[in-house]
Amino acid sequence: LTLLGIESSCDDSAAAVVRSDRAVLSSVVEGQAALHAPFGGVVPEIAARAHAEKLDGCVARALAEAGVGLADLDAVAVTSGPGLIGGVLSGVMLARGIAAATGLPLVGVNHLAGHALTPRLTDGLEFPYLMLLVSGGHCQFLMVSGPGEFRRLGGTIDDAPGEAFDKVAKLLALPQPGGPPLEAEALKGDAKRFALPRPLLDRPGCDMSFSGLKTAVLRARDALIAEHGGLRRQDRADLCASFQAAVAAVLAEKTRRALAESEAPVLAVAGGVAANSVIRAALQGVCEKAGVGFTAPPLRLCTDNAAMIAWAGIEKLQAGLVDPADLTARPRWPLDAMAAPMIGSGK
Ligand code: ATP
Ligand code: FE
């Protein structure tokens, strides 16, 4: 099978061509960071218009780079939720148009299912496995037992870790997105200098919280500024290191619990925060102790992309599921609420 995938649920317009033998023939991602930067966050109307303008070009490039034509495809897969409704609609309408023009089957994919199934594309991972999704918008443990079988074991009750990295970076006058510069600062700092909280570790279960940590950094910062008339270089590095250590400690302990509860043989991590080497090492350590495998797909496939959507579409198609020609967009579509037997029917 060869599928075209289309993704437009947040601030990346993406298209990809993927084969059922796990070959990624092309994966085009066009970000919109520059468009949203002046507003300090993703503006839904701007995102929707940018997707409408860029998606055609992404699809054309994905087909050209893959060296395939529409006639070589077996189906079109598209993110049909969850996400910003305007963007999701742009993708769904384009996919519907292509399907109508070519007669190809249409497959609606849950964006989170796309992330959760990525290790099967990149590593050929067998079911079941535990997925920790840690990005700018998400933070959850998912037990993945089949292409449409996801059980949520817990997740953040407030901010996602990437969001916390971004907000703390902002507090410390570091550039956005905050993860990479904060990690670089932390390298020069002392992680034991500030005793920041480890939220929810005192409570059972796998839920997490990161917004209190951000507030604790704010207080520590203000105390330092009041004392020294400004934030000194070393103080900032120490704050970064202490914050990063707290996030890593929380993720590691909750992962230990999720592994014990699920008895999963492998942990797969996905999302931009999985790029953090301190967090990655902490998670790897937990897996080694538990005698459990560890895998992290390459970053370009574990941040938002369309190859994961094409792949999830392949898994859905292989299970005999296609969607009607009038596939609709679903702004809300929690994975664990998917009562449908498979990746969801888009209805
Ligand atoms: P989603 O995919 O959930 O809709 P998103 O597009 O924000 O959200 P990603 O692209 O997966 O998510 O990840 C971006 C986030 O990852 C940002 O918040 C960024 O700060 C964070 N991040 C990237 N690199 C690092 C790093 N080295 N350490 C910590 N965080 C990082
Ligand atoms: Fe995503």
ipTM for the predicted complex: 0.97
* 6 within 8 A of 14, measured Cβ to Cβ: yes
**What global pTM score does this model have?**
0.90
- Using the mean position of ligand 2's atoms as its centre, give its distance from the Cα of residue 122 in Å: 16
Structure tokens at 276: 């953090």
User: Has 92 been labeled as part of a binding site?
Assistant: no
Query: Residue for token digits 């005999």?
Result: 320
C-alpha atoms less than 13 angstroms from C-alpha of 71 in its C-beta half-sphere: 0
Closest ligand to residue 42's CA: 1
- Is the minimum distance from the CB of 165 to ligand 1 under 6 angstroms? yes
- Using the mean position of ligand 2's atoms as its centre, give its distance from the Cα of residue 1 in Å: 24
Per-residue confidence in pLDDT tens, the chain, 347 aa: 999 999 999 989 999 999 999 999 999 999 988 888 788 778 888 999 999 999 999 999 999 999 999 999 999 999 999 999 999 999 999 999 999 999 999 999 999 999 999 999 999 999 999 999 999 888 999 999 999 899 999 999 999 999 999 999 999 999 988 999 999 999 999 999 999 999 998 889 999 999 999 999 999 999 999 999 999 999 999 999 999 999 999 999 999 999 999 999 999 999 889 999 999 999 999 999 999 999 999 989 988 999 999 999 999 999 998 999 999 999 998 887 554 444 444 33
Closest ligand to residue 270's CA: 1
* 260 within 8 A of 143, measured Cβ to Cβ: no
- Using the mean position of ligand 1's atoms as its centre, give its distance from the Cα of residue 272 in Å: 4
Helices (H), the chain: 33-36, 44-66, 85-102, 111-123, 161-171, 179-186, 211-228, 233-262, 277-290, 299-302, 307-318
Question: How far apart (Å, rounded) are the C-alpha atoms in residues 186 and 182?
Answer: 6
